[in-house]
Structure 1
Amino acid sequence: MAWNNQGGPWGGGQSPWGRGGGSGNQPPDFEEMIKRGQDRMKSILPGGFGSGRALTLIGAVAVALWLLTGFYVVNPGQVGVNMLFGRFVSQTTPGLRWNWPVPIGDHYTPDVATRYRVEVGFRAETASGSDRDVPEESLMLTGNENIIDVRAVVLWRINNVEQFLFGIGDPETSVKNTVEAALREIIGQSSFEFAITEGRGQIEVKARDLAQQMLDSYRLPTAGEVEESKAGAIIIEQLSLQKVDAPSEVIDAFRDVQKARADREAAINDSQAYVNQVTEEAKGQATQIVKQAEAYKAEKVAIAQGDAQRFISVYEEYKQSPDITERRLYLETMAGILAGMNKILIDDSGAGGTVPYLPLDQLLKSRQQAPDTTSTDPAPASGSITGASQ
């Protein structure tokens, strides 16, 4: 034994309780060792263990050790929660803190800075690096009675420490079930096409808000509260839809349908573009025709107004000199009529029944063809017209 060794820390082959109980390889006498130990304690405490002094000393040491167990450390990002007789009394900031130890008091140090992750509809397998589908969570029914496969990731953190510790039993399960219920509610109000296309972002926002309202309603009253706070135990910071698609069993057929719809939309867009082009061209032509008609209208109105004004002025002259005005109008009218006609001058005063005439139009034409030369050709002979005038 160690205390039988001459070089041991106790020297002289003595045990911590005095001389060894045996020699050689014989085992020590434990009863004698206990008796000698009691004798040594009596020398330290003359009154023995039953004296008041001894009990006081032992009690003081025990109380001191018990009080020392009340110290605890609150790390950065944590909040210390002090309990007294099972009731919440206060919160503490990071650092070395003290509270009454068990069984009078207790303390908790929840991490309020960490963002916790919850998966809905699947589970990430870290060992294989792939995701495992959970159909009982991912398959949901849309508003138009179609089945849709939904996967979501939720990031949450502790918001109200007191409510988190005493109002929610299993936070992760509560968040998962609440988000799943909110997603089923929003998906059930949406159509299949809306959910897989432009409605994805709206579904995320609505489901997050609804889940937050449900989590806030899980609030339980606690005796340590001084003021009633409406803050829930958990706050959802982000809800992200990882997958919103048709189930894998019908995904190929669904993609064919989507391709057909895309082709239909493309054809509709092309037709609409052609309609817009033709419509714009027709509108341009119509505008041009309208402008031409308006210009023609303005022209005719101006001419009519000018004719009316001229008629009025002529009428005023006619009232003043009826004979002269009537003669002038007759001459102007005849001049306008005869201006573009071939004219023949006939002299019916000739004797012998012959009527000489002068072809003025032919003379004018020949003069216009050769204005700078003097014609040497004799004038055509006067013809004779017998009978009635031509």
Structure 2
Amino acid sequence: MKLSEDIARVLNASRVFLWVLLLLVLPGIYLASGFYSVGPEQRGVLYRFGRMLDDRVLPGMHYRLPWPIERVERLATTAVRSIELDLSEGAGERLQGELTSGDLGLAAVALVLQYTIEGPGDFQTRVLEPESLLRQLTRAEAIQYVAGQRIDTLLTTGRNRLQSSPRQTLQAQVRVLRLGINVTSVQIKRLEPAEPVKRAFDEVAAARAEKQKLIQMERGERSSRLARARGDANQTLQRAQAYASERLEQARGDYAHFTTTWREYRRSPDIMGRRLYLETLETVLGRARVTVASPSRVQPPESSSPRHP
């Protein structure tokens, strides 16, 4: 009995303290649970009784009314998310896995879609599963694009357009649907012809590569030959210009010499005429070849008249 009386006496003495604990401390703890933080790469979405109040809560410390009145969901809006989409999967046994091109060719296509969240509120509230809807939109856009291309164009020059054109169309569609998504890129993970014709397409691609290689080699050879031809033409032109300058200077010198001689000849024609005559003989005889022969060793030419007996 003594122990029970001691316990009852302690409870009676601490009754006031317990009431203070229940009325002050516990509500304080409940109210303090409303403090929360948002990370640097996150945005918060604030709800009150399930209704969205704010979808762009910035990073830092904030306060909300404690649960269940208000709640906050945090989304990484700067992180790039990826969706891998293999269009040949899920086709079933009765459906072909490859996509049909505009000229009835078959192509196996697998894409990687990358996106970010630009509207956290729309991403959380507009659609129940936004990634699933985005996957379906990407599949539909890829099928439509492949159906409008020839198979050889799709596998060669159309690869880049497969990455750019669907991205722009998808971005326009998600903005109309207000999914809160920003499509950053559509990348090709796999784009190849169907397995039965893959070898033929590989040979065609190798032939085209060899063709481009030969074209580049011939273009290089043509460029080198053109460079050599231009160099030879410049050298010939320079030699011709030098020869023309030399002949022109020589002509000018001859003209000056002739003019001076003519003036001297007009002043004293006898003296100048004899001088020119002697200079001409000197020039001609300087190139002449003189042969001296003895008269006794010279035979007279035979007569062409007939001999009489």
TM-score, scaled to structure 1 = 0.54
1:1-390 equivalences under 5 Å are 77=42, 79-83=44-48, 87-91=51-55, 97-98=64-65, 101=68, 107=71, 109=73, 111-113=75-77, 116-122=81-87, 132=89, 139=99, 141=101, 146-184=105-143, 195-197=154-156, 200=159, 203-219=162-178, 233-343=180-290
Contact 2:101-2:148 within 8 A present in 1 as well: no
More helix by share: 2
Per-residue Cα deviation, 1:261-299 (whole angstroms, up to 9, x for no partner): 223333333433443344333333333322222222222
Q: Tell me, which stretches of 5 or more residues in structure 2 are unaligned?
A: 1-26, 301-309
Change (3 A) 1:267 1:238: closer
Mapped to 2, the partners of 1:174 and 1:244 lie a distance apart of 23
Contact 2:117-2:182 within 8 A present in 1 as well: yes
Per-residue Cα deviation, 1:194-253 (whole angstroms, up to 9, x for no partner): 65456645643443333222211212xxxxxxxxxxxx5112344322112222231111
Q: Tell me, which stretches of 5 or more residues in structure 1 are unaligned?
A: 1-63, 124-131, 220-231, 345-358, 363-380
Q: CA shift at 1:183, angstroms? A: 3.9
Contact 2:98-2:194 within 8 A present in 1 as well: no
Q: Max radius of gyration: which structure? A: 1
Mapped to 1, the partners of 2:34 and 2:287 lie a distance apart of 130
Q: What is the identity, as a one-letter code, of the residue corresponding to 1:111?
A: L
Q: CA shift at 1:140, angstroms? A: 5.4
Mapped to 1, the partners of 2:82 and 2:221 lie a distance apart of 52
Q: CA shift at 1:258, angstroms? A: 1.4
Q: Which has the higher contact order (CA 8 A, sep 6+)?
A: 2
Change (3 A) 1:71 1:249: farther
Tell me, what secondary structure is at the counterpart of 2:273?
helix
Q: What is the identity, as a one-letter code, of the residue corresponding to 1:311?
A: F
CA RMSD of aligned residues (A): 4.1
* Higher mean C-alpha displacement, 307-316 vs 152-161: 152-161
Mapped to 2, the partners of 1:74 and 1:207 lie a distance apart of 38
Aligned length: 262
Contact 1:121-1:136 within 8 A present in 2 as well: no
Q: CA shift at 1:326, angstroms? A: 1.7
Change (3 A) 1:96 1:89: closer
Q: CA shift at 1:307, angstroms? A: 0.8
Mapped to 1, the partners of 2:203 and 2:47 lie a distance apart of 62
Per-residue Cα deviation, 1:146-198 (whole angstroms, up to 9, x for no partner): 54332112233432122123323430222113333444566567665565456
Q: What is the identity, as a one-letter code, of the residue corresponding to 2:237?
A: V
Per-residue Cα deviation, 1:26-72 (whole angstroms, up to 9, x for no partner): xxxxxxxxxxxxxxxxxxxxxxxxxxxxxxxxxxxxxx9xx99x979
Change (3 A) 1:341 1:249: same
Change (3 A) 1:166 1:315: same
1:25 corresponding residue in structure 2: none
Tell me, what secondary structure is at the counterpart of 1:109?
strand
Q: Percent identity?
A: 21
Tell me, what secondary structure is at the counterpart of 1:98?
coil
Q: CA shift at 1:313, angstroms? A: 1.0
Change (3 A) 1:140 1:212: farther
